[in-house]
Structure 1
Amino acid sequence: MDEASLERAVVVITGVMASGKSTVAQLLAERLPRAVHVRGDVFRRMVVSGQRERVPGGDEEAAEQLRLRYRATAATADLYAAAGWTAIVQDVVLGEHLEPYLAAIGTRPLYLVVLAPSADAVARREAGRAKSGYGSWTVGGLDHVLRDRTPRLGLWVDSSDQSPEETVDAVMGGLAEALVAG
């Protein structure tokens, strides 16, 4: 498979915070002739008041806000794909949220890429970032959700020792495995 198979498609890139989702999604979109980068975090930042932080064992309101964000990114991806764009969506979608999230996306073909660098690699990346994504979560705690509670769907890439460009190469080379629908 090649970039032509990504025309009018949706590619979901997920993983823990500091796994490289934003960078890889941007680079992948830049390689394609007609692509958009849908950033899930943008929808979280749109909430001006009343936002509930998603924390381990958090409340139902926080979970509903997360599901709303997922529906917004899925709908946005579908809108762009219907208009002839390839939508590269990146967000932290793990555990029990992954399958309902993928089901909310109607576009076919639908690809899933799970960035799964080691917890040590993520901790190093997080330490080197200007922003901190972990707050109430720990790297180990979220890594546990990724590895032990997230369905093994799509293409899983251990990008621990890869540059972002090498990870995009791995994604392009693994499109057949990444295809989850259509």
Structure 2
Amino acid sequence: MKLKRIEAIFTPPASHMVGDGFKVHQFIPSVKGLDMKRMDPFLMLDYNAKQHVEASSKPKGVGVHPHRGFETVTLAYKGRIAHHDSAGNAGVIGEGDVQWMTAASGVLHKEYYEEEWARKGGDFQMVQLWVNLPRKYKEERPRYQALASNDFERVYLSGNNSYIEIIAGEYAGK
């Protein structure tokens, strides 16, 4: 594996609301120098910095909206996120888990705070990456996966003080 050097570290851009629940800083494509052509296949990167969410009887989030031709990969650091889509898929991810939705030929979906978690409130933090699909996969059926963190392979780095968690692909033979 060829290692790349860190080219730059960016200050988060101003946050904005996505729906009524997610307060995100958009790094791709909003940060200067991270233009679409250069970042392909990555289309978007939103980061919801850690925030406290007040308890609510109505879960907040993003209502029904379309996606097509790409995948969304959502990592939950704090809180719980629910998903429902027009292909009949549904799931909930919690802290450390990943939600992987392949929109492919097209899907309507919504994502929001999981209902029980929303009733209690608490700290919430997540990141979502949109990944462009290669042309040959854009017309496939939509898919959804809720991936539990305890199923991920981990490669511990020197000193065993940190590790790489593998959610896709391969690293160091895992």
Structures share a fold, TM > 0.5?
A: no
Higher relative contact order (CA 8 A, sep 6+): 1
Structure whose alpha-carbon radius of gyration is higher: 2
TM-score (norm 1): 0.28
Richer in helix (by share): 1
